[in-house]
Amino acid sequence: MDERTRFLILSLEGETYAVPISRLLEITVPRNIQKDPNLTELFEGKFEFRGKLIPVLNIKKVLKLPGSIGTTLLVVKSGKGTLGVLVDAVTEILDTDQKPVPMPKGVINPSMQYYSGILRHKDNLVLLLNGDGLLP
Amino acid sequence: MMHSYLVFLLSGRLFGVRLHGAIEILPWRSSRSVPLSYSSVEGLIDYRGTIYPVFNIGRRLGMSGPGPVAGAPVQVETARSIILLEENKMLFGITVDSVVKMTKLEEPSAPPEKVQGMETKYFQGVVYDEDQEILILDFERLLHAG
């Protein structure tokens, strides 16, 4: 049997991205985000999650996308701990046996490990976000 | 020694690419943009089961002119094509204004030192065909320049 993986499909400025469900802890609405001057400008502040304060990343700033701050907060496990990520919307869950296609050479500097591959979904290409590579 | 070339137009100039294998010419289609990619990357397209990076070589060459200019009318884009190529086992697409012809050409001679407004290091040379100047592209350099 082929191994199946579930991905959460999300949108940023009208384009689709994905994160593996195995990394997802919660989908919620951002509220009571506390400013923290110790965080870089890529973060909006901190958010209380299960009794702990976790940093909230504005992923549009990381990816240099225009537009306003996302209105949906994902809580994900990254290589550097639990992290909040602001996105525009979550659209659906993709349950698939696809293996993500590696990013072709010559597209992005290999030191920028923001994507762990490409998925196909409904005639679209979906960029799989690398939870461990997003943090500077 | 004659070789096969594909000749195309980009911003009013003729360019040639030497053909090593199969190529495909696709009508213009939008590609999936990749945030933080190199500036010459137009995006990704999925064609017959393969994901191709599409390069805007006009941008790499430092040319302006017709292309995806902000605020430009949509007709500009519908006039363009995407050529899918294989070079050194790398599959990729390039955006062109239009494909002119496939033809056999002589070996290119060294490119002029200066071609107006363009980076000449990306040319293998120049060929004259029916008195028209065709600049032959060096993809090895074009694609690895970052």
Q: Which residues on B lie below 8 Å from A87 (Cβ)?
A: none
- Domains of chain B are 3-144 (2.40.50.180)
Per-residue pLDDT tens digits for B106-145: 888 887 777 777 777 888 889 998 889 999 998 878 777 5
Q: Determine, for residues A106 and B46 on separate chains, whether the beta-carbon distance falls below 8 Å.
A: no
The reply to whether B91 touches chain A by the CB within 8 Å rule is yes
State whether residue B142 is helix, strand or coil. helix
Question: HEC string of chain A?
Answer: CCCCEEEEEEEECCEEEEEEHHHEEEEECCCCCECCCCCCCCEEEEEEECCEEEEEEEHHHHCCCCCCCCCEEEEEEECCEEEEEEECEEEEEEEECCCCECCCCCCCCCCCCCEEEEEEECCEEEEEECCCCCCC
- Kindly state the DSSP code that residue B139 receives in the 8-state scheme: H
A·B CB contacts under 8 A: 54
Q: Under CATH, domain A5-129 is a member of which superfamily?
A: CheA-289, Domain 4 (2.40.50.180)
The reply to whether A42 touches chain B by the CB within 8 Å rule is no
Per-residue pLDDT tens digits for A81-128: 899 999 999 999 999 999 999 999 889 998 889 999 999 999 999 999
Per-residue pLDDT tens digits for B25-39: 999 899 999 999 998
Q: Which residue of B has its CA nearest to A110?
A: B37
Q: Which residues on A lie below 8 Å from B36 (Cβ)?
A: 63-64, 108, 112, 114
